[in-house]
Structure 1
Amino acid sequence: MTITKRRIDPPTGRVTVGKGQLVRITVTSDVPDELHVHGYDLGARLPAGTPGSVEFRADKTGLFEAETHETELVLFQLVVR
């Protein structure tokens, strides 16, 4: 994903994965920020213009938001079934 002038590409939506699946989220932001995945309490620094990523096993079922902390943008909702 990329964030430019508070616009997210691809646009915000839902991403569905199966329980136990390996998930990697990579984000590049035009301003310094922090990526956070709720429910999994994972985060990554996002230096301006440099990709930041988290990788984890989706071992909890439910609906979890991935967002930025400083700009408070919801990147997407992760659905784990």
Structure 2
Amino acid sequence: MKPKKDIKEMSDRFTIIINGLKSYGKTYPNEEVVRNVLHSLPTSWEAKVTAIEEAKNLETFSLDVLIDSLLTHEMRLNNGSE
């Protein structure tokens, strides 16, 4: 995730990359996609990443549910800083 970017922008960028790779016939298992998104988050998100990795089965955890969870967490972080 780039500095000063939010989860929505990161998700949109990641989706464009994944769809581009799919158009060339390259696909990735769900677990790998979810792990790549989690590992792309800044270190300030480490607690959330650890919680998700420990609580969820990443083989079945969908990218959409992950993004929703991250967006919710981001909203909570932003509300706390205001």
> Please, what TM-score do these two structures have when normalized by structure 2?
0.32
> Please, what TM-score do these two structures have when normalized by structure 1?
0.32
| Higher strand proportion (structure 1 or 2) | 1
| Higher helix proportion (structure 1 or 2) | 2
